[in-house]
Amino acid sequence: MTKYRKKPIVIDAFQFYVDHMPDWFMDNVTSNDVILHNCNYRRYGIDEAYCEIKTLEGVMVGNGGDYVIKGVNGEIYPCKADIFEKTYEIVK
């Protein structure tokens, strides 16, 4: 079996319902490519918030605490926090 390593690429990402939602994400909300649910911080907790993200593979759900990634081609998709933290590191 041949082993592979991910190429070192830089991506934009934020932790959904934890970090400030960046403009590139909100642009997708405005265009209805992302649908927000239970995202009133005063009313809902992190376990209740989620978003639906339209991708080439269909609609994917990002839950509160998941990371949302903007890929190299501008595509966006959710990633569970534990997987994200094993795969990515902050660029300094």
Give the pLDDT confidence of 52-82 residue by residue, as tens digits: 999 999 999 999 999 999 999 999 999 999 9
Whole-structure pTM value = 0.91
pLDDT computed for residue 8 by the predictor: 87
The answer on pLDDT for 4 being more than 90 is: no
pLDDT computed for residue 73 by the predictor: 94
DSSP state of 38: S
| Distance separating alpha carbons of residues 41 and 29, to the nearest angstrom | 17
pLDDT computed for residue 92 by the predictor: 83
| Distance separating alpha carbons of residues 41 and 3, to the nearest angstrom | 44
